[in-house]
Structure 1
């Protein structure tokens, strides 16, 4: 008889525990659902659409191609990828010599390209790869070195203020130093975008020059990679590096619209 009473008490305790647990869990889930419902009430369909559009736009705004070398893949390249490379409103890819390999960064090893300096062939073949694989996916294309730091928020603000459907070649304008005047085969009204700070091309500009990179490589006048890129853009896109007053005028017009 005593055993039977103990057994009944155990069964009763189990039943009470299950019932209490069910009430607690149901109440918690109901409260969680109410919180979600309350949050959803503050988000309108228009806001949801705008958020989705913003995310999609960020994914397709900019493609960044970073020139590097095999010996810098685990140092400079990794540092870029782990810092501002994570904040690019689009995609970042590293370009190095043939047979280069890295476990740390997304890498394209360019066929028949070595790490010799100046990196003229590497630069032009990188642009050709961008054109062949990504030209219809992004509005802007940035050619950068592995030792540059970029404020991606400021860059995004600039690019969104400029009409990407036009031919643009944007960067720090250069014409060479005093010792190079007359030696770079530049006309009086020609310039180039200096490679160090990075060079930006609109999709339309890339479309115009990429099919002719081999021609540009066959007609090099100097050992300066950025000068020769500028010359190639001038020949086949019909533009030079954007002067500061042009960028200011374009930004002002975009803000007015």
Structure 2
């Protein structure tokens, strides 16, 4: 599978997608992707052409405006030392320009892969009016912990409102410096926005800061055992069947994931809504609420 493959080239199964379509309308997700000019043709193009198409709205945030891609240029210098500023500016821009366009607001990197259907499924058990944010939970640095930037994190509408109203105060939210995800997590804590457990009913992880292979095989770096709030588990029994995100996914592997998730099927096995109801018959437009977690 070459790097030039297009999503449109892949055969589409005629699946019954009434539930995912209903959730698309009910749980509106704005995705913003942190990127750089040098990554547009290598990484970001693939994100644009694969999973981000399933967001209700997607914005690509960079240091330079590129109307052809398109990207939104923020008044921030490039480099890891300024990732905090890029995130703070991006959420400020979204609050001021797109607050009414979604109910949930997700930040992801240009090497993050997200399964939007599983995100929306998880969000049906959450309340957008509560000051909460979700992701791969780290338990260090910030009192309540914070969510991995690479694994992607999601703000409720109320969380974004609090940031928009008070996040400009440098005493609450550092404008730049430090580790982006930790600093934003500290900002959320100072604004009274809570981290929430995102594991499924069996205690399996949904958001992931590494590739699927790493979470299946283990071999984590030493720091991860101190950071991960759920015990740095590994293996197929530790990853949710309804996983939401993975990080450090190179462009070619994004195409592979598109194929495995949306096209490869074991004949004779019906999958996709078992956790909702194994025997229900879904009519188009019907919304099934998930079991409480």
Identify the TM-score tier after normalising by the shorter chain: 0.5 to 0.7
For residue 95 of structure 1, what is the aligned residue in structure 2?
61
For residue 232 of structure 2, what is the aligned residue in structure 1?
none
Q: Which runs of 5+ in 2 are unaligned?
A: 1-17, 203-274, 277-288
The answer on 1:83 being equivalent to 2:83 is no
- Contact 2:188–2:194 (CA<8 Å) still a contact in 1? yes
Structure 2 residue aligned with 1:231, among 175, 180, 186? 186
For residue 62 of structure 1, what is the aligned residue in structure 2?
29
Deviations 1:151-181 (A, max 9, x none): 11111211223222212210111134xxxxx
The answer on 1:161 being equivalent to 2:110 is no
CA distance in 2, matches of 1:162, 1:254: 11
- Contact 2:24–2:120 (CA<8 Å) still a contact in 1? no
> Secondary structure of the residue that 1:142 maps to in structure 2?
strand
- Contact 1:162–1:254 (CA<8 Å) still a contact in 2? no
- Contact 1:70–1:115 (CA<8 Å) still a contact in 2? no
The answer on 1:116 being equivalent to 2:84 is no
Distance 1:219 1:61, change over 3 A: closer
For residue 291 of structure 2, what is the aligned residue in structure 1?
255
Aligned-pair Cα RMSD in Å: 3.1
The answer on 1:173 being equivalent to 2:137 is yes
CA distance in 1, matches of 2:87, 2:101: 20
Q: Where do residues 1-257 of structure 1 align in structure 2 (5 Å cutoff)? A: 54=22, 57=25, 61-88=28-55, 90-97=56-63, 99-101=64-66, 103-104=68-69, 106-110=70-74, 112-118=75-81, 119-176=83-140, 184=141, 186-187=142-143, 190-216=144-170, 219=174, 223-236=178-191, 238-244=192-198, 255=291
CA distance in 2, matches of 1:136, 1:101: 24
> Secondary structure of the residue that 2:113 maps to in structure 1?
coil
Distance 1:222 1:74, change over 3 A: closer
> Normalising by structure 2, what TM-score?
0.57
Q: Give 1:55 deviation, angstroms.
A: 8.7
- Contact 2:135–2:153 (CA<8 Å) still a contact in 1? yes
> Normalising by structure 1, what TM-score?
0.64
Q: Which runs of 5+ in 1 are unaligned?
A: 1-49, 177-183
Structure whose residues are more often helix by fraction:
1
- Contact 2:84–2:176 (CA<8 Å) still a contact in 1? no
Deviations 1:92-127 (A, max 9, x none): 110000x342523x32111x2121213010000000
CA distance in 1, matches of 2:90, 2:176: 20
Q: Give 1:242 deviation, angstroms.
A: 1.4
CA distance in 2, matches of 1:240, 1:227: 14
Question: Which of structures 1 and 2 has the larger relative contact order (alpha carbons within 8 angstroms, sep 6+)?
Answer: 2
Q: Give 1:244 deviation, angstroms.
A: 4.1
Deviations 1:42-63 (A, max 9, x none): xxxxxxxx99x949826x7010
